[in-house]
Amino acid sequence: MENDNRNYIAFAIVAFVLFFAYTSYSYFFIEPIARQAAAAKAKAAQTEQLVTTNAAAVHLSRPQALARSPRIVVDTPSLTGSISLVGARVDDLFLKNYHVDVAKSSPLVELLSPAGVKDAYYAESGWLGANLPGLPTDQTLWSVSSGQTLSPGHPVVLSYVDPNGLTFSRRLDVDAAAMFTITDTVANSTAAPVTLTPYVSVKRIGLPEGLGKSNIVHEGAIGVLGVDAQQLKLATYKDWKKKTEEDWQSKGGWLGITDKYWMTAFIPDQSARVDAKIRIAPGVDPSGDIYEAAYLTAARQIAPGSQITEVSHLFAGAKTVPVLKGYAKDLHIPRFDDAVDWGILSFLTKPTFLLLDFFYQQVGNFGIAILMLTVVIRLITFPLANKGFEMGVKMKKIQPELKELQARHKEDPAAQQKEMMALYAREKVNPVTGCLPVLFQIPVFYSLTKLFTVTIEMYHAPFFGWIHDLSAKDPTTIMNLFGLIPWNPSDPALPALVLAVTGFLHVGIWPLLYGFSMWLSQAMSPPTGIDPTQQMLFKVMPLLFTFILAQYAVGLLIYWTWSSLITIVQQYLMMRRFKVDNPIDDFLGRFSGKREATG
């Protein structure tokens, strides 16, 4: 029984270590390099000139690509950019409230970019019709009927008349956040009925460096479709590559392409029948393949002398949870807040975020909100954790008796086991209960890792002191003596292998604080048994977790450090209650004794 108990505890610990290590892999070798490469690309994008990628084709700079078409300016509190009159594409958007890095002088985050530039990314919509030449295409030049700047409360109306007598009108509205309303009207002035099918499409030509390589956050196609429009459809870029085309039938729903923090997605009328698909096609553009998420709605017949209207919505912006939930409510969009990758434990991640955001609304600082969230989580889990700590203290209290009987029955394992079981029964001790706090931390760690990784609310959110971005790892590092040595071990110009090594060795002040708190909590816990391997495993855990957690968002480190301090207080009070020696009292006693001796 004792061996089984020790095995249970060892299994829990090893499982926790492996879980940490597995989820940390992309942080060690992929995420840091990908983030640095993406940041370097974004900073250079503002001044990028012609880029030749093969003998047959070249990329245009952004100004050159924009100059190929007359444009309508987009100006909202959240977005800035323009819409191309050629094709009536939404293809030039920057996010006003988000910068590439913490510095406000850094470039704005680029969301959409026009055809012709490297890694073009845009949204378009229109009409399809069999045997109807002259319909507007992505090369059609639209005229401006009214409006010059698209902004909240100031729509723009575009028009086009085809050679056969069909008049197309497109009204564009935009709100203060990230939602465009596209109202298409087609008037038939011919002598015969015509049938047209509305379509929408989000296209990404090639993939920016580092995109789609995360093992933690979903990036790629996303939508909610199905007969009841409740099925979340996901396809990473890797999956997209393997299965070049996938189709779904749906009533309502939505579909688009998502990055970690931003998304571009079309939303049809929720009563409309939708034929949706994602597909990939070899591209003539030097960026690479064309990734497309598109859908058709039901064909519409237009009688002579009449007209029809089709309304769709285009979301193009940051995936802030309150905004997504607001659109879900106002426009009846199903599961729109699931555009955020909550993960397989969404039943934990979602309410945890909502609670964190509630605290933020009260105090105005996400760092303080994290401390408040920690206290609430510890209160919720207090009965379970307290039972584990109580059992741990009881185990520590009986250690002298346990060692004595183990020594007394060293040559008789059966008698040793019998005596140990009697001791456990007499003292009401169950060693397995002591590992409950460790087991509980696994789902908590997963949900919090997701929360700090995928929610844009953490992006560039400051705390105090040197912490200016809770979604990034602690910017200080022991590798340059916390800034005393003029060297940046995270310099994107360093070779990839060097970045991987320096990324793993990047240990800042908060990771060190966490490692110390974990060591102290460990010192206050009972021995795991007589197995030297288990003893060694426990001893190296604080050092191991210091390096592992150093690669995570510093917000997560703040949570775990504060949680460890609460654990230490809880352990200390429990040990005082059961009159068990603890390292804090031992240290204070030695310190007091030294002062008296000195005096």
Whether residue 426 lies inside any domain: the answer is no
* SS3 readout for 540-559: HHHHHHHHHHCCCCHHHHHH
Type of residue found at 432: V
Whether residue 510 lies inside any domain: the answer is yes
**N-to-C CA span, the chain:** 53
Same domain, 569 and 588: yes
Is residue 14 predicted with pLDDT exceeding 60? Answer: no
The residue length of the chain stands at: 599
CA separation for the pair 453, 216 (Å, rounded): 8
pLDDT at 188: 94
Same domain, 240 and 378: no
CA separation for the pair 267, 138 (Å, rounded): 20
Range 240-257 average pLDDT: 90
Same domain, 27 and 83: no
Contact 136, 142 (CB under 8 A): yes
Return the axis-axis angle of helices 399-408 and 413-427, rounded to nearest 10°.
Answer: 160
The conformation of residue 244, written as its DSSP 8-state character, comes to: S
Range 6-26 average pLDDT: 49
CA separation for the pair 560, 32 (Å, rounded): 21
Q: Which of 40-49, 261-270, 408-417 has the lowest mean pLDDT?
A: 40-49
Same domain, 218 and 170: yes
Range 347-355 average pLDDT: 91
CB count in 10 Å sphere of residue 206: 20
CA separation for the pair 14, 22 (Å, rounded): 12
Nearest Cα residue to 318 out of 254, 265, 278: 265
Whether residue 195 lies inside any domain: the answer is yes
Is residue 52 predicted with pLDDT exceeding 90? Answer: no
pLDDT at 593: 59
Number of domains in the chain: 2
Range 8-27 average pLDDT: 50
DSSP β-bridge partners for residue 110:
94
CA separation for the pair 150, 550 (Å, rounded): 45
When computed from its CA atoms, the radius of gyration of the chain, rounded to whole angstroms, is 30
Nearest Cα residue to 467 out of 548, 367, 363: 367
> 278 CB contacts (<8 Å, ≥6 apart)?
221, 235, 240, 245, 246, 255, 291, 292, 293, 294
Whether residue 42 lies inside any domain: the answer is no
> 211 CB contacts (<8 Å, ≥6 apart)?
34, 38, 219, 237, 259
Q: To the nearest whole percent, how much of the chain has pLDDT over 70?
A: 80
Greatest CA separation for the chain: 110
DSSP β-bridge partners for residue 181:
173, 313
Of the two residues 523 and 516, the one the predictor is more confident about is 516
**What's the pLDDT tens digit per position in 521-531?**
877 765 545 45
CATH, residue 221: 2.70.98.90
Nearest Cα residue to 448 out of 515, 547, 521, 369: 369
Last residue of a domain, one of 341, 361, 382: 341
Range 138-158 average pLDDT: 95
Same domain, 225 and 370: no
Type of residue found at 236: T
Same domain, 321 and 383: no
Instruction: Give the distance, in angstroms, between the CA of residue 556 and the centroid of all CA atoms in the same chain.
Output: 13
Run of H or E residues at 92: strand 89-99
What's the chain's average pLDDT?
A: 82
Same domain, 318 and 457: no
Same domain, 193 and 334: yes
CA separation for the pair 24, 32 (Å, rounded): 11
> 200 CB contacts (<8 Å, ≥6 apart)?
123, 124, 125, 266, 268, 294, 295, 312, 314
Same domain, 436 and 554: yes
**What's the pLDDT tens digit per position in 407-433?**
887 777 788 788 778 877 777 777 666
Same domain, 135 and 231: yes
Nearest Cα residue to 389 out of 535, 530, 582: 582
Domain that holds residue 142: 47-341
Whether residue 407 lies inside any domain: the answer is no
The conformation of residue 192, written as its DSSP 8-state character, comes to: S
Residue 444, judged by CB atoms within 10 A of its CB (0-12, 13-18, 19+), counts as: middle
Run of H or E residues at 279: strand 273-281
**What's the pLDDT tens digit per position in 59-100?**
899 999 999 999 999 999 999 999 999 999 999 999 999 999
Range 521-542 average pLDDT: 69
Type of residue found at 558: I
pLDDT at 404: 81
Alpha carbon distances (Å) from 128 to 32, 461, 566: 44, 45, 63
pLDDT at 37: 47
Whether residue 37 lies inside any domain: the answer is no
Last residue of a domain, one of 303, 320, 341: 341
Of the two residues 237 and 210, the one the predictor is more confident about is 237
Whether residue 399 lies inside any domain: the answer is no
The conformation of residue 113, written as its DSSP 8-state character, comes to: B
The conformation of residue 213, written as its DSSP 8-state character, comes to: -
Last residue of a domain, one of 307, 341, 375: 341
Whether residue 425 lies inside any domain: the answer is no
Same domain, 192 and 264: yes
Range 232-243 average pLDDT: 88
Same domain, 304 and 285: yes
